[in-house]
Structure 1
Amino acid sequence: MKKRFLFDQIVAHLESTKVTVIVGARQTGKTTILKQIEAFLLQRGDRCFSFTLEDYDILSDFNHSPKNLLNAVETKGDGRVFVLIDEIQYLKDPSNFLKLIYDGYREKIKLIVTGSSSFYMDRGFKDSLAGRKRIFPLYSMSFGEFLHFKGVSPRSAKTLAGKREISGLFTEYLIWGGYPEVVMSQNEDERMEVLRELIYSYIRKDILEQKIKREDKFFQLLKFLSHQAGGLLNKNEVARNIGVSTTAVDNYLYFSQKSFHIFTLKPLYKNRQKEIVKMGKVFFGDCGILNFLRKDFRKPEDRGKSVGSLLENAFFINLLYRVRDVEDIKFWRDKAGHEIDFVVNETTGFELTFGCGARGTKQKNLNAFHQSFSSISVSVLCRDDVQAELLRYPRTVGKVEF
Structure 2
Amino acid sequence: MIQRTLFGELEAHLAKPQATVITGMRRVGKTTALKFLLAKTVHVNKLYLDFEKIENRILFSQNSYQAIEAGLEALGLDLHQPAVLALDEIQLVPNSPSVIKYLYDTYAIKFILTGSSSYYLKNHFTESLAGRKRIFEMFPLGFDEFLQFRGFARSQFEHTAQQHFSEPIYQIFRQEYETFLRFGGFPEVVLAETANDKTAFLKDIINAYIELDIKLLSDFRVSNDLYKLCQLLASRTGSRLDVSKLSSISGINRNKLTEYMSLFEYTYFIHLIPSFTKNKDKEIAAQRKVYIADTGMLQILAQVSSGQVFENAVALQLLRLGEVAYYQKKSGQEIDFILNKDTAIEVKETPSYPDLKTLNYRSDDLELPHSRLVGRHFTNSDFQEWYWGGGIF
Please give the range of the TM-score, normalised by the shorter of the 2 chains.
0.7 to 0.9
- Partners of 1:235 and 1:246 within 8 A in 2: yes
CA distance in 2, matches of 1:74, 1:12: 25
Q: Which residue of 2 aligns with 1:147?
A: 147
Which residue does 1:321 correspond to in 2?
A: 320
Deviates more, 1:66-75 or 1:311-320: 66-75
Contact 1:62 1:68 in 2 (8 A): no
- Out of 375, 386, 391, the residue aligned to residue 382 of structure 1 is 375
Alignment partner of 2:347 out of 328, 349, 352: 352
The percent identity for this pair of structures is 28
Distance 1:8 1:343 in 2: 28
Indicate the residue corresponding to 1:59 in structure 2.
57
Compute the displacement of 1:352 (Å): 1.2
Q: What is the CA distance between 1:348 and its match in structure 2?
A: 2.7
Distance 1:333 1:127, change over 3 A: farther
For the 8 Å contact 2:177–2:390, the answer to whether it is kept is no
Q: Which moved more, 1:335-344 or 1:215-224?
A: 335-344
The change in CA–CA distance for 1:291 and 1:66 in structure 2 (over 3 A counts) is: farther
Q: Which amino acid aligns with 2:78?
A: E
Conserved 8 A contact 2:23-2:118: no
* Deviating more after overlay: 164-173 vs 328-337: 328-337
- Given the alignment of the two structures, is residue 76 of structure 1 paired with residue 80 of structure 2, yes or no? yes
Q: Which residue in the other structure is 1:213 paired with?
A: 221
Match of 2:189 in 1: 182
Q: CA deviation at 1:366?
A: 4.3
Q: Residue 344 of structure 2 contacts residue 363 of structure 2 at CA under 8 Å; is this kept in 1?
A: no
Structure 1 residues 262, 275: closer, same or farther in 2, change over 3 A?
closer
With over 3 angstroms needed to count, the CA separation of the structure-2 counterparts of 1:211 and 1:273, relative to structure 1, is closer
**What is the identity, as a one-letter code, of the residue corresponding to 1:253?**
M
- The whole-number CA distance in structure 2 between the counterparts of 1:35 and 1:294 is 35
5+ residue gaps in structure 1? 297-305, 394-402
- Give the length in aligned residue pairs: 370
- Deviation at residue 195 of structure 1 after TM alignment: 1.0
2:40 maps to 40
Alpha-carbon deviations, 1:68-90, whole Å to 9, x = none? 5543221334xx31111111111
- 1:339 aligned to 325, 334, 337, which one? 334
Could you tell me whether the CA contact under 8 Å between 1:275 and 1:334 is conserved in 2?
no
> Pairwise mapping of residues 167-316 of structure 1 onto structure 2 (< 5 A)?
167-209=174-216, 210-271=218-279, 277-295=285-303, 306-316=305-315
Matched AA of 1:336: S
- SS of structure 2 residue aligned to 1:134: strand
* Counterpart-to-counterpart distance in 1, 2:88 and 2:289: 33
Whether the 8 Å contact between 1:233 and 1:281 is mirrored in structure 2 is yes
In 2, the alpha carbon distance for the partners of 1:284 and 1:66 equals 41
Query: For the residues of structure 1 that align with 2:247 and 2:123, how far apart are their CA atoms?
Result: 26
Question: What is the DSSP-based 3-state SS (H/G/I as helix, E as strand, rest coil) of the residue aligned with 2:316?
Answer: helix
| 1:353-394 deviation line (CA, Å, top 9, x unaligned) | 11122x5235445434533x414422121126233532xx3x
- Kindly indicate whether the alpha-carbon contact (under 8 Å) linking 1:276 and 1:333 is maintained by their aligned counterparts in 2: no
> 1:96 deviation in Å?
2.1
Aligned partner letter, 1:317: L
Name structure 2 gaps, 5 residues minimum: 161-165, 378-386
Task: Give the superposed CA RMSD.
Answer: 2.6
Q: Work out the CA distance in 1 between the residues paired with 2:44 and 2:55.
A: 26
Report how far residue 222 of structure 1 moved: 1.1
Once the two structures are superposed, residues 104-152 of structure 1 have per-residue CA deviations (whole angstroms, 9 ceiling, x without a partner) of: 33xx111100111165366333333332211111111100110000012
* 20-29 vs 342-351, greater mean Cα deviation: 342-351
Deviation by residue 1:141-174 (Cα, 9 ceiling, x = unmatched): 1001100000123554689776424110000000
Query: Greater CA deviation, 115-124 or 47-56?
Result: 115-124
The residue that corresponds to 2:99 in the other structure is: 97
Relative to 1, partners in 2 of residues 1:155 and 1:49: Cα closer, same or farther, differing over 3 Å?
closer
Closer, same or farther in 2 for the Cα pair 1:329/1:120, shift >3 Å?
farther
Specify whether residues 98 and 386 from structure 1 end up closer, same or farther in structure 2 by C-alpha distance, changes over 3 A only: farther
* Aligned AA (2:243): K
The two structures have a TM-score, normalised by structure 2, of 0.86
Whether the 8 Å contact between 1:232 and 1:279 is mirrored in structure 2 is yes
Q: How many Å separate the matches in 2 of 1:219 and 1:49? A: 37
Deviations 1:172-204 (A, max 9, x none): 000100001110011111111111111223432
Aligned residues of 2:10 and 2:20 also touching (Cα < 8 A): yes
Q: Which moved more, 1:173-182 or 1:85-94?
A: 85-94
Q: Corresponding residue for 2:138? A: 138
1:15-34, CA deviations, whole angstroms, 9 ceiling, x for partnerless residues? Answer: 11111111111111111221
Please identify, of 1-10 and 380-389, the stretch whose mean Cα deviation from structure 2 is larger.
380-389
Pairing 1:367–2:361 present? yes
Secondary structure of the residue that 2:114 maps to in structure 1? strand
8 Å contact from structure 1 (residues 340, 366) kept in 2: no
**Does the CA-based 8 Å contact 1:53-1:87 persist in structure 2?**
yes
For structure 1, which segment, 26-35 or 156-165, has the greater mean C-alpha deviation from structure 2 after superposition?
A: 156-165
Distance 2:135 2:282 in 1: 37
Alpha-carbon spacing, 1:26–1:275, altered in 2? closer, same or farther (3 Å): closer
| Contact 2:47–2:86 (CA under 8 A) maintained in structure 1 | yes
